[in-house]
């Protein structure tokens, strides 16, 4: 069965949507939402598979309800009112996926995918299945293919966060800075917190390195510093 056949099956006379048509549209929206959610889940984003499925289904439901509200209303409803509230309200959900990470911000791509997934769900609710499928494919192309192109040809450097814990002594932080600079990397930001009771210190450094930078050598050089007890390194994800 082609998409055109499904579209013809869901075409109805008048403005009222039967429940069987609503269920079919919701199922299609769940499938499209799951494709986007799988990609976000694979990248370890907080808004993953279930979030995108529920969001796409919910926006589809509301769009169907919006269409039916104009039919059931005593004086006729505004079919665009609920849809408009979804577009503005989903921004709060997207904002929850954005958070400060080290010296930058993470989650912008996921927030944008949440907003676009809502539009796809609303398209399913309106019966625009070809447009919804096209939007899903374009979004997946952007998230998967263009992400690889960006990493390979555009983004030649990567932001990393190094956390170092140990026993503080004179010039401890300065020694860490000098150790990192030996590898000709860009030190974007460095901060530390010290426990005055046991003289322990935690240093957080935001560095920018080449994509193929050997981080083992950097960590091995830092751990030579007197007093270092723990080192961790995180790489910013998309």
Distance CA 158, CA 135 (A): 30
- Residue 76's pLDDT is 53
Label residue 147 exposed, middle or buried (CB < 10 Å: 0-12, 13-18, 19+): middle
Predicted confidence at residue 102, as pLDDT, reads 53
Query: Rounded to two decimals, what is the model's pTM?
Result: 0.64
At the second CATH level, the architecture of 157-235 is 2-Layer Sandwich (3.30)
Give a three-class secondary structure readout of 158-225.
EEEEEEEEEECCCCHHHHHHHHHHCCCCEEEEEEEEEECCCCEEEEEEEEEEECCCCHHHHHHHHCCC
Q: At what angle do helices 49-72 and 108-125 cross, to 10 degrees?
A: 40
> What are the residue boundaries of the structural domains of the chain, listed by start?
3-153, 157-235
pLDDT along the chain (238 residues), means of 10: 53 66 92 91 82 91 82 58 79 74 69 90 90 93 85 72 90 89 83 89 87 84 90 74
Q: What is the DSSP letter of 74?
A: S
């Amino acid at each position: 069965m082609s998409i055109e056949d499904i579209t013809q099956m869901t075409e109805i006379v008048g403005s009222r949507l039967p429940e069987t048509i609503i269920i079919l549209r919701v199922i299609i929206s769940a499938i499209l939402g799951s494709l986007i959610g799988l990609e976000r889940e694979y990248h370890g984003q907080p808004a993953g598979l279930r979030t995108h499925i529920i969001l796409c289904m919910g926006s589809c439901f509301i769009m169907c309800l919006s269409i039916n509200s104009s039919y059931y209303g005593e004086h006729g409803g505004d079919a665009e009112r609920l849809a408009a509230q979804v577009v503005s309200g989903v921004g709060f959900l997207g904002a929850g996926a954005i958070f400060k990470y080290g010296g930058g911000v993470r989650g912008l791509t996921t927030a944008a995918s949440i907003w676009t997934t809502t539009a796809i769900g609303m398209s399913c609710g309106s019966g625009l299945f070809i447009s919804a499928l096209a939007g899903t494919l374009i979004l997946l192309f952007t998230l998967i293919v263009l992400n690889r192109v960006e990493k390979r040809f555009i983004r030649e450097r990567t932001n990393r966060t190094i956390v170092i814990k140990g026993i503080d002594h004179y010039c401890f932080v300065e020694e860490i800075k000098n150790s990192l600079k030996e590898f000709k990397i860009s030190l974007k930001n460095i901060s530390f917190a010290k426990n005055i009771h046991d003289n322990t210190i935690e240093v957080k450094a935001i560095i920018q390195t080449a994509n193929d930078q050997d981080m083992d050598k950097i960590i091995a050089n830092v751990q030579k510093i007197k007093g270092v007890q723990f080192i961790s390194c995180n790489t910013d994800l998309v």
